[in-house]
Amino acid sequence: MIDAFGRQGWHCDLVDGREVIQTAFEAHHTKVRLIAQAFPQINALSVVAETPLPLDAAHLASGVELLMRANKQLTLGSFEYDFDRAQLIFRLTNLFEREKFDADIISSMVHCAISEIDRLTPLASTVAATAPDLLDDLSIPLLLEREDLIPPVPGDEEEEEL
């Protein structure tokens, strides 16, 4: 697992005595803390990305609705909200062939987790910034359809300039 991170040039820290890597990435909209944990007994890898998302009591229901509706659109992984730490979380797990943690798949998992957190951060921030008396007027389904807040795909900016 650590080899896959090294091949990408990603700095990471191995947690002593555990099959866990911790690192952080600067995404388009937010800083993402990432944890990757291997479960060699079952040939699985779990990637967890998280970023702060403070939601007060007035915004909590709308914030959680946003995550639940976003989950309905996903094929891989899922969003969670850590109430105790006020963190937006995206979790993705993959089962690998026997004792073979494919570096390309690990890299894809990391990119996916970061992209999903970065995609939802401005939407969640919109919910958190909405005045409490206007939350009933905020359409979460329509908010999820906004494409103007989606971060650009790396490489697409160059194609558009040509």
Q: What is the pLDDT of residue 66?
A: 97
DSSP3 helix / strand / coil % (the chain, rounded to 5): 45, 25, 30
Question: What per-residue confidence (pLDDT) applies to 58?
Answer: 97
- CA-based radius of gyration for the chain: 17
**Domain parsing of the chain, residue ranges:** 2-146
pLDDT tens, residue order, the chain (162 aa) = 677 777 777 877 778 878 889 999 988 889 999 999 988 889 899 999 999 999 999 999 999 999 999 999 999 999 999 999 999 999 999 998 876 788 889 899 999 999 999 999 999 999 999 999 999 999 999 999 998 887 777 666 555 555
What b/e sequence results for 92-129 when a residue is b if at least 16 CB atoms lie within 10 Å of its CB, and e otherwise? bebebeeeebeeeebeebbebbbbbbbbbbbbbebbbe
State the architecture of 2-146 in CATH terms: 2-Layer Sandwich (3.30)
